[in-house]
Amino acid sequence: MNGALVLFSGGQDSTTCLAWALERFERVETVGFAYGQRHAVELDVRPRILGRFRREMIHWTPRLGPDHMLDLGVLKQIGGTALTDDQAIEMGAAGLPNTFVPGRNVLFFTAAAALAYRRGLKHLVGGMCETDYSGYPDCRDDTLKALQATLNLGMETRFVVDTPLMWLDKAETFALAERLGGPALLDLVVEETHTCYQGDRAQRHEWGYGCAACPACDLRARGWAKFTAAR
């Protein structure tokens, strides 16, 4: 129970978390979730990213274990969000953007914990952040601390929920990737990862691919601008 399972979507944050975990743990596995997301292109970039890690980050290659994919299509069945249904991205009545998928991270970590239990992995690593985010309540530090306690009680074990990006903004996340893996990892993050809620891989910007209009692209673009200005 000394290894780590990284919740790996194929985005900037989870890719940086993968590098963070590989730097710390002798055994690291990854898990992705198919839940009917409109930006399912993120599932297509995952194997490319993992392939580049194995080929180019050879000091970490021995530590990188199997990748897993879990079907959580129940989130699509529930629907009602701009990430699972064909609707415009806008603010909802509760003050949250309609890209908020209720219960998504709670379900992700629950499924990941069940997998980690079977795989003998102690650490659950996620890219949630409370500093530079869209206000999702299931990204908050308090939520994930409570969830860690619940998972440990419910499975009679001692999981650790690690959120290395919790107090970093997007600029600091770019900087962390560069610090962990140098120019090679920074290039991988820009060229391969996908964050855009619209699933747009047609437009290439200095910060990567995306529509440049959705909240995820806005956060990434502003983070890149701040990161490059500080170098």
Question: 163, 128 in Cβ contact below 8 A?
Answer: yes
Question: Could you tell me the residue range of the domain that residue 218 belongs to?
Answer: 3-230
For 229, residues 6+ apart whose C-beta sits below 8 A from its C-beta are none
Query: E-strand spans in the chain?
Result: 3-7, 28-34, 64-71, 121-125, 160-162, 204-205, 208-209
Residue 65 has pLDDT above 90, yes or no: yes
Task: Round to whole Å and give the CA distance between 200 and 210.
Answer: 5
Question: 6, 17 in Cβ contact below 8 A?
Answer: yes
- What's the whole-number mean pLDDT along residues 101-106? 92
Q: Looking at per-residue confidence, does 15 or 231 come out higher?
A: 15
Q: Which helix (DSSP H) or strand (DSSP E) does residue 127 occupy?
A: none
pLDDT at 152: 98
Q: Could you report the per-residue pLDDT of 141-154, keeping only the tens digit for each?
A: 999 999 999 999 99
pLDDT at 131: 86
Residue 91 has pLDDT above 90, yes or no: no
How many domains, the chain?
A: 1
Q: Could you report the per-residue pLDDT of 2-49, keeping only the tens digit for each?
A: 899 999 999 999 999 999 999 999 999 999 999 999 888 999 999 999
Provide the 8-state DSSP code for 10.
S
Instruction: Name the band, by pLDDT with cuts 50, 70 and 90, for residue 88.
Output: confident
Instruction: Name the band, by pLDDT with cuts 50, 70 and 90, for residue 98.
Output: confident
Model confidence, pTM: 0.95
Task: Round to whole Å and give the CA distance between 33 and 66.
Answer: 15
- What's the whole-number mean pLDDT along residues 75-81? 91
pLDDT at 125: 98
Instruction: Name the band, by pLDDT with cuts 50, 70 and 90, for residue 186.
Output: very high
pLDDT at 86: 86
Query: E-strand spans in 37-147?
Result: 64-71, 121-125
CATH of the domain at 114: 3.40.50.620
pLDDT at 89: 86
Q: In the chain, what percentage of residues exceed pLDDT 90?
A: 84
pLDDT at 1: 62
